[in-house]
Amino acid sequence: MNLNCMHQTDNNEIWQVEVAGQTYEAPLGELPDWISEGSLQPEDKVRKGNLRWIEARKVPALVPFFNARANGTPIPVVSTVSPAIEKDALDSANTIETTAPQTQALPGSTVQAAVSGNNSEVVTASVITAEPGWCLFHQTLPSVYICTKCKGEYCKACPSSYGGEVRICPECGSLCTTTKKAAEASKKSAVESSIGNESFGFNDLSRAFAHPFKFKPSLVFGGLMFMFFTLGQLASGIGGIVFIVGALVCGMLANMLTFGILANTVENFSQGRLDADFMPGFDDFSLWDDVIHPFFLSIGVYISSFGPFILVAIIGMYLVISAAGEQMKKYKEELTRVPGTQFYSPDRTAEQSKQVKELLERVKQQNERRLARQQEAVQTAESGDSLGKGRVVGPDELDRDLAQLQEAKPGQVETAGAGPAGADPGFRDVLGSILKLAAPLAVFGGLALLWGLFYFPAACAVAGYSRSFLSTINPLVGLDTIRRLGVTYAMVLLMCLLLLIAAGVVGFAVQIVLMPFTLPGVGNLPATAVGSFVTFFFWTVFSCMLGYAMFKSADRLKLYR
């Protein structure tokens, strides 16, 4: 065995030994005596300092002694040599072959091996330790796998392979993982230890603002996608079935993008992957997983949070329209009885026309009779009759008939524009019926809106960590999440309010700055484009903030990591 980079083992290191349920402490140099006496068995647990417990047979420094006892050979004598003596021994021999099986040390540790010759001459030396990143058995090859138990690093050929990706450690027989995954796990553990011990607070909000800038390509690409989808929704104003369908598709894709980011971020953060990209991966693009499923998650969030408000608004509109319709119907019925208006009943008009005709016929007959009487009076006067000055009959009967046609009550007929609309009794009735419904609708609508604002973050959290439409629309799941979060959810609501205010201020500033670019017919396209990018950024920050809340409450929410 090559003995380069050798170090002397400290036999005075204190080890803990668990034997028959009891824990003892002893220097490492005394453990060979325990092995010789049979007090320490290979399957007993030992550890150094605060390290984890391992079986004694897996400690490389003790392997030669267990092998000697198992083979019935004398237990090697442990001795400590000074570095000067060790150097002289190394100068006199480049290679030492041991009769005991070859053993390897844990990475970064040093052990002492003892070898007995024909005359029981003892030579002490140290076992080689591989540098991190290099194979223990082939130190010229970089390590590809690392044991999850003994932490030994090996090249691609050393571990035994079982069933494709399964690799077995050649030393302790435990599972191996790739060094890349081990590094990611180590980094994750370091991040968790530094962030996970803090309670959720405004430090996490600052981290949420900084997180999108860690992935600038995703921020730019995602913002441009959302901008394109937002501008595409304006096509519905052009008209035509093609543009309307295109606007609906753009709206669906915008929801796909935003809720895809939300679900991906919350899921990664809740499982401890705090350095993961917020954009979902499109390497294995799936229409259901990447488009339809996030769209349904967004629908579930809006239904569970703002569904009651939408329902109250629909019921309120129906009641108001129904009440106004009933009052207008009554009002028109009153107007149909008033001659001279546009709503005057055609049946009543025909009836009065018939009465007028009859009246005219009677007037004609009266005039004929009056003319006849006048002619008779003239003839009598000429003949010297006693009627000399004949009396002219007035149209009293005509006046009485005309009076019978006056059916309208005084003040019932009003000309258009005769007075203000508020003086119209019909208008007052319609307005009164609407005002009677306004108070209860305002109360229920306000409560429903407050519920939506309060529950929206919880619905987003459920959609993110569950990825289930049924769980998202179930308010019991969201309320249970709020209960488990406790004070953390109050902090989430406060941060959401701050994000809304910040987004509103930035959006207003964008509108003011880009106001000169407003065009007739299409509006301010530059302001809409920049505003959509701002909306995308704040939505990403909201997703990261919610992800940090889920990460720090994973134990309370019983989320799998």
3-state secondary structure string across 379-436 = HHHHCCCCCCCCCCCCCHHHHHHHHHHCCCCCCCCCCCCCCCHHHCHHHHHHHHHHHH
Percent of the chain exceeding pLDDT 70 equals: 68
- For residue 425, give both structure tokens: 């009794």
Residue 135 has pLDDT above 90, yes or no: no
Cβ-Cβ contacts under 8 Å for 359 (sequence gap 6 or more): 398, 401, 402, 405
**Residue 140 binned pLDDT confidence (cut-offs 50, 70, 90):** confident
Q: Which residue has the higher pLDDT, 119 or 155?
A: 155
Q: For 430-485, how does the pLDDT look when each residue is reduced to its tens digit (9 = 90+)? A: 666 667 777 788 888 899 999 999 999 999 999 988 888 999 999 999 999 999 99
3-class DSSP assignment, residue 78: coil
Name the 3-class secondary structure at 534.
helix
**Domain boundaries of the chain, sorted by first residue:** 14-126, 145-195, 202-313+449-557, 333-434
Higher per-residue confidence, 381 vs 217: 217
Is the confidence at residue 148, as pLDDT, over 90? Answer: no
Q: Which of 103-112, 249-258, 526-535 has the lowest mean pLDDT?
A: 103-112
Q: Compare 373 and 97 and report the one with higher pLDDT.
A: 373
Task: Tell me what the pLDDT averaged over the chain comes to.
Answer: 75
Distance CA 92, CA 146 (A): 35
Residue 300 pLDDT > 80:
yes
- What's residue 116's pLDDT? 38
pLDDT at 398 over 60: no
Say whether pLDDT at 404 is over 70.
Answer: no
Task: Average the pLDDT over 500-508 and give the result.
Answer: 94
Q: pLDDT value at position 226?
A: 93
Per-residue model confidence (pLDDT) at position 265: 92
* DSSP assignment string, 316-365: HHHHHHHHHHHHHHHHHHHHTTSTTSTT--HHHHHHHHHHHHHHHHHHHH
Compute the average pLDDT of residues 148-177.
78
Query: What is the tens place of the pLDDT at every residue in 262-280?
Result: 988 998 888 888 888 898 8
Please report the pLDDT score of residue 78 as a whole number: 55
Q: What's the average model confidence in pLDDT over 39-66? A: 80
Average pLDDT for residues 114-122, to the nearest whole number?
Answer: 39
* Pairwise CA distance, residues 275 & 547, whole Å: 12
